[in-house]
Amino acid sequence: MHEQDAVVHFSLIGLPGSGKSTIGRQLARQWHLPFIDSDHVIEQRLGCTIKQYFAEHGEAAFRDVEQQVLAELLAATAPCVLSTGGGSVLRAANRQALQAHSTVFYLQSTPEDIARRLRNDTTRPLMQGDDPLQRLQELLAVREPLYLATAHYVVDAARQNASQVSRKIGMQAELAGLLTGQGSPGAAGD
């Protein structure tokens, strides 16, 4: 499945608002692992928000930083649960690193479900535009093939709460032999 030594990272990918951070925190608690949100690490490194950096330096510069941060996080020797930015799959190097150094779960959700869930969100730039649903549909059209190509497992996250999705991921990880004992991550097989 992936070229992995004894370190098992679990990465979550999907559209913005699909629940990666919330579900990632739940999984990290269940599995007694650190939780890392790559967007937060990027913002700490930049000293500003991603939105500000994007506006000042452009998408290509942001994607360079994102690629560097993801590579560093995935090279860590301690296992973790990693929530990635929604666009992290846009670069082939990121897709390859995620596949090679982690078990990747794609939280598949519909643009309609995300728009409904985030309708009152005032913090996400994506939801502040004229037509958030149309923007989500455009993002899905471009990114879904990349999410599917990157993921080891696809988890239906539409119309379900974070606890339900976390349970699904936990069951999938257990069935795949990625967990040992009482919910503790173990070494991945081949």
Residue 140 structure tokens: 């899905």
Whether 25 has a binding-site annotation, put simply, is: no
If 0-12 CB within 10 Å is exposed, 13-18 middle and 19+ buried, where does residue 136 land?
A: buried
Residue 38 is labelled as binding a ligand: no
18 in a known ligand binding site: yes
Is residue 29 marked as binding? no
Is 183 annotated to bind a ligand? Reply is: no
Q: Is 52 annotated as a binding residue?
A: no
Q: What is the DSSP string of 91-130?
A: SHHHHHHHHHHSEEEEEE--HHHHHHHTTT--S-GGGGSS
Q: Which secondary-structure segment (H or E) carries 154? A: strand 153-156
* 91 in a known ligand binding site: no
Q: What is the DSSP letter of 80?
A: -
Q: Is 22 annotated as a binding residue?
A: yes
SS3 call for 155:
strand
- Token reading at 84: 């990635």
User: For residue 105, what are the β-bridge partners?
Assistant: 12, 153
Residue 124, annotated as binding a ligand: yes
19 is in an annotated binding site: yes
State the binding site for ATP. Answer: 17-22, 124, 160
Q: Which residues are annotated as a binding site?
A: 17-22, 39, 63, 86, 124, 143, 160
Binding positions for Mg(2+) are 21
Binding site per annotation, positions for substrate: 39, 63, 86, 143
